[in-house]
Amino acid sequence: MSYDIAFRFQQALDPSTLITLPTALYALNAAIEDCRNAGRPQDGDPAVILLARHLGAIAAQIEGSNVELRRACMDAIADLRRKPALIALARKGVAYDERAKKLFHSDARKALRALADALGLTEDSYGISVNRGGAAVSGEVTLHGASIYVQLSLGLMGPGREVMFRKVTGRNDHIGERNNFASVEELIRPARFAARIRRDLHLPPSDTAFDRLVA
């Protein structure tokens, strides 16, 4: 039994409604999916080839030479490398995007480790844990030390409040004192953020001193 349908052939013969890159790309991807469902070779399907050529024709009409477009791509890469991914992920969100969520958790752990270094925490005085949560949320990445609890999540408290931090009295204290909030932009400047945490939570100059007090 064939599961093939005629729709992609009809679109390929009359692509007049496919006038933008997104609509033409969607039609091409749909045609490729139809071939896959029907068990037909995609590379030799006439509808797929015609729709691909139509997509190329639309792209060819957009202003800008290949040299200019390549330069724009290289400039974009250089700009993105100067900006931590956490900022972009915070603005975009990671809901229902497994790759983005994985990157968020990886970069969040790195940012919290950098913050721990800026706070003067020794490796054995804190832990970093991850709660992945469901597909619709970012989950949380948490730094829990002898005197501080810092948690990063996206979307829960709104823009500019992605980081929650509070004072605790040991690594078994999961409640602590009043919650404070900061932005991802503050977190990626660990030295400055560490100074704010110490000021707002009234911590001693070195967390190792606090470790000795609660040991």
pLDDT in tens, 80-103: 777 778 888 888 889 899 999 999
Quote the CA–CA distance of 49 and 71 in Å, as a whole number.
Answer: 29
Quote the CA–CA distance of 166 and 21 in Å, as a whole number.
Answer: 48
> What pLDDT is attached to residue 153?
93
Please state at what angle helix 46-60 crosses helix 21-38, rounded to 10 degrees: 170
> What pLDDT is attached to residue 4?
75
State pTM to two decimals.
Answer: 0.63
Q: pLDDT band at residue 206, thresholds of 50, 70 and 90?
A: low
Full strand arrangement of the beta sheet holding 148-152: 126-131, 140-145, 148-152, 163-167, 180-182
Average pLDDT value over all residues in the chain: 88
> What pLDDT is attached to residue 76?
86
Judged against a pLDDT cut of 50, whether residue 214 lies above it is answered with no
